[in-house]
Amino acid sequence: MNVDAAWTRRTLLLVGCLVALSPLFAWAAGVVGYAEPMGNLAARFGAEAHVYRTVPGLFPDYRVAGVGPYAGTFVSGVAGVAVTFAAAFGVGQLLAAESP
């Protein structure tokens, strides 16, 4: 299966623009006072006091320790896109190897 180079370029440009804009989305969420719905429910029912993490996240709350909130959002966005692209590429390679 051939992938059109122009389509690939446009797709990568779109994803790159969205990642570059991710700090703007983080800022806008702070301006309007957005909070995660599950976090709101946990606070409402007192579940935050009983949090026990078995596996700590790589980027808890989409932040990077020692970096500002907007730069941290950008870094975690880049990392998330890289992991997603790597997984999709790997699955694509496995499927391509199986096709006749």
Q: Region 57-78: what's the mean pLDDT?
A: 80
- The structure tokens 């870094």 sit at 75
Residue 95: DSSP 8-state: H
Lowest mean pLDDT among 19-28, 42-51, 86-95: 42-51
Say how many C-beta atoms besides its own lie within 10 A of residue 80's C-beta. 15
User: What's the CA gap between 60 and 57, in Å, rounded?
Assistant: 5
Q: Over the stretch 24-63, which tens digit does the pLDDT of each residue have?
A: 888 888 899 888 888 888 888 888 777 777 767 767 777 7
Q: Is the dihedral of CA 34, 20, 85, 77 positive or negative?
A: negative
Residue 62: DSSP 8-state: G
pTM (2 decimals)? Answer: 0.64
Q: Region 18-22: what's the mean pLDDT?
A: 88
User: What's the CA gap between 47 and 43, in Å, rounded?
Assistant: 6
Domain spans of the chain, in order of start: 5-98
User: What's the CA gap between 41 and 27, in Å, rounded?
Assistant: 23
Q: Do 38 and 81 touch, CB atoms closer than 8 A?
A: no
